[in-house]
Amino acid sequence: MKYFPLIWAALCRKPVRTIFTFLSVTAAFTLFGLMIGLGATMDLVQQRAHPDRVWVLPRFDFNGMPVTMGRQIAKLPGVKHASIMTYLQGYVGDLKNRSGAIMLDDEYGRIFSDWPPTPAQWDMVRHDRRAIIMSRRLATQFHKKVGDTFTLISETVRADGGKAWDFKVAAIAEEMPENSGGYIIGNYDYYDKALPLADQSKMNEIDLQVSDPAQAAAIAQRIEKMFANSGYPVRATPENVIAASNFGGVDISAITRKIALAGLGMILFLTASVIAKSVRERLAEFATLKTLGFSDTGVVGLVMAEAALPCLAGALFGTSIAAVLVQILPGILPPNFALPTPTLSPAVLGWALISACGVALASTGLPILRLRRLDIAAALSGRT
Amino acid sequence: MMLRQIIAVTSIGLRSLPQRLWESLVIVVGTGCVAGVLLSMLSIMEGMYQAGARAGDPRNAVVLQKNILFENSSNIPRSAASIIANAPGIARARDGSPISDASMIVFVPAQLRKNGTQAAMTLRSFGDKGAMLRQGFHMVAGRMFQPGKHELIAGAMANSQFAGVGLGDKVILPDGEWPIVGIFTTGGLLDGALVGDTGTLMPAVRHKSFNSVLVRLASSAAFATFRNALATNPSLSVDVMRMPDWITRGNADFNAYFRAVVYGVAAILGLGALFGCFNSMYTAVESRGREIATLRALGYSGLPIALSVLLEGAVLSVAGALIGAAIAWALYDGVMSGFGSDVFFLTVTPPMVAIGIAWGIALALLGGLVPSLQAARWTVSDALRAK
């Protein structure tokens, strides 16, 4: 710590250079934070996937399946809860504002208890047929607050011939990191009973919870077999398998790592050039230090610290900017499509600091070699 | 006179570049990273765009359920399909029948070849005019499916992306195993899909209505006739679009989002490179202080000196952008990629390289502005005193 004034003086010798190095490093680490944070979200989704949950979807088609299938599945041995859901798609006000709600039965909230809505909020949808839970992002987008009416205009025609579906915003809940596009949760019964008789009692998805996660794959297979020759063949998949195949098979983590690396490569050259230049300009100063009795290691330490300080500060500052951007970005980016929100976890900051140290270390390699071979007499007389 | 000065100063500057190797490399590497990352990400969009564009035959129009843009959620009842096929404005085959194809698509479970994860493939149906309506459709191996038989054909890229959809493989559908009897290509997005006979597939997957109707327009002007005929028919509730328009609209949301992400990433990285450029050019001007002062003393004016600083930055950044573009091209151009059920080749095109170069030049100019003005403003005595 006592050498800090020495390092500080070195950095302040060319303030413009130091500031711009810091800014460049900050930009690179802002990107690093966003990219590695996005990868962290992908990992998180996979970690959080519950191996005891199985999703059952139509195998070939998205036409409705009869709700009785849900009851049949609920009766299978090893199945703790089974729930059904369907989607209501449409738009709000203008065709451009596409939106949709997932209409869930009473069991759903118990199976997906890890979702953001609280038990009290789930109960609101269970007890009030017109109630919906809206995610904060959509509530902001559509300017809704609790108690407001929300109208979705859909191609799904109601029994009364109308296409406008009215809901009451009962609660506003937090976002899911894997689904930054927002969500609306409604009551299946309300939806179903509003449909013409011929369209009633259909659903698009069955989700179930098994008592023993080890049995999930076997139960999924059993369900597939059960309906293989029916009018509604299904595909049943444990949630962790689905999480592994997210984003259309695109390996987001690999792409984000490459982009983050490109940023690091860029600042590596910058810091290397700056530190090399700084050392070259101050050879006489280093020679003086050596004359005063500073060891080789001490001088090397000073150079490294001089490189590391802007890098670490940039890493810290850059990740902080990324953390702020994560909050703002979903509102700025075009709607109707969304990547997961990056998670700026302590681990991401950790990786940023480690990378910053790595960059500082790598960039000081050449100058350090030069310093170790420094001819003190020559340096002091300015002959190098 | 001015031009000669600019050339003279720039050439002196460029010749002294090796002495400022590291600073120069910062600009080259910085712009190289920006251009490389930008082009690599754009190659995904370009690949999807080109595959879509090849499927978007401008001679064709597509009919979908009203207000529904995506084929898989659109329903066209059989009764509507025959009205559409008999509407005016459709080109006729040699036998006088309209060139129109009502078809369905479903997604069938598949497995990604590269890592075995779950995926879905598109299974599309063709009627007797289906192949005729797809630009460039031809078989590359095996034979066409026979209508009425449980047979499929697979796109040329399907088997490289998904496991078990090669010639001779069997696909499990509700009515048992359907063998793949041929491999086709169109050069477009369909090449990642499976295709079967409409009349055989629909009952098998229990589809009651079609998803869309594709028609060949009699002429480009016939589009209005065709659209009006459908719009004024009270028994229909459909939208009509020219094929390329439909593909553009269908991808609009995804493209807008992805473009924002790509350029956002490039902008943050670009900001980093910009500060780096500024740093390097600032250092370069500083280290050339004496040289600049001498030139000023010899009677050179400030402008050529400022311009030469900018020009030098631009040369370095263009070199960097070209290297970045070359790396993006070498790594990704022509690499097969997939997004969901779509399979396409990543593509790096010359216009994209031009975008990369433009970014490089912009970075150099923005980063070099202040240093170059500073160089131009230096008085002889200041510069000679500076070390």
Going by C-beta distance under 8 Å and a sequence separation of 6 or more, which residues neighbour residue A316? A349, A352, A353
Half-sphere exposure of A236 (CA within 13 A, CB side): 29
Per residue in A298-315, pLDDT (tens digit) is 888 888 888 999 999 999
d(CA A62, CA B240): 23
**Nearest chain B CA: its distance from A28 CA (Å):** 6
| Cβ contact, residue pair A269, B173, below 8 Å | no
With tokens 């009766």, the residue in question is: A75
**A60 neighbourhood in chain B, CB within 8 Å:** 106-108, 123, 173-174, 205
User: Whole-prediction pTM value?
Assistant: 0.85
| Cβ contact, residue pair B25, A273, below 8 Å | yes
| Cβ contact, residue pair B269, A277, below 8 Å | no
The residue of A20, A26, A247 whose CB has the most chain B CBs within 10 angstroms, and thus the best one to mutate to test that interface, is A20
| Cβ contact, residue pair A269, B26, below 8 Å | yes
> Given this model, what pLDDT does residue A332 score?
81
- CB contacts < 8 A, A to B, total 157
Q: Return the residue of B nearest to A63 by Cα.
A: B207
Q: Phi then psi for A153, rounded to 5 degrees?
A: -95, 120
- DSSP string over A87-122: EEEEEESEEEEEEEEEEE-TTHHHHTTTSSS-HHHH
| Cβ contact, residue pair A61, B23, below 8 Å | no
> Given this model, what pLDDT does residue B380 score?
73
Query: How large is the angle between the packed helices B302-332 and B243-287, nearest 10 degrees?
Result: 130
Q: Return the residue of A nearest to B341 by Cα.
A: A248
d(CA A368, CA A376): 15
The token pair that represents B323 in the structure block: 């290297």
**A336 neighbourhood in chain B, CB within 8 Å:** 253, 257
Confidence grade of residue B373 (pLDDT, cut at 50, 70, 90) = confident
| Cβ contact, residue pair A31, B118, below 8 Å | no
| Cβ contact, residue pair A17, B275, below 8 Å | no
| Cβ contact, residue pair B109, A235, below 8 Å | yes
> Given this model, what pLDDT does residue B103 score?
95
Mean pLDDT of the B15-21 span: 80
ipTM score for this prediction: 0.86
**A17 neighbourhood in chain B, CB within 8 Å:** 279, 282-283
Query: Which stretch of A232-236, B194-198, B290-294 has the lowest confidence by average pLDDT?
Result: B290-294
A3 shares contact with chain B (CB less than 8 Å): no
Going by C-beta distance under 8 Å and a sequence separation of 6 or more, which residues neighbour residue B95? none
> Given this model, what pLDDT does residue B386 score?
59
| Cβ contact, residue pair B30, A269, below 8 Å | yes
The token pair that represents A171 in the structure block: 């609660």
pLDDT above 90: residue B7: no
Residues 113-132 on A with a CB inside 8 Å of B are none
Confidence grade of residue A172 (pLDDT, cut at 50, 70, 90) = very high
d(CA A184, CA B200): 39
Mean pLDDT of the A115-140 span: 92
A375 shares contact with chain B (CB less than 8 Å): no
**Nearest chain A CA: its distance from B137 CA (Å):** 25
A25 shares contact with chain B (CB less than 8 Å): yes
Task: State chain A's maximal CA–CA distance in angstroms.
Answer: 98
Query: Which stretch of A248-252, A358-362, B108-112, B362-366 has the lowest confidence by average pLDDT?
Result: A248-252
A62 shares contact with chain B (CB less than 8 Å): yes
A59 shares contact with chain B (CB less than 8 Å): yes
> Given this model, what pLDDT does residue A1 score?
62
| Mean pLDDT computed over every residue of chain A | 89
**A24 neighbourhood in chain B, CB within 8 Å:** 272-276, 279
> Given this model, what pLDDT does residue A149 score?
95
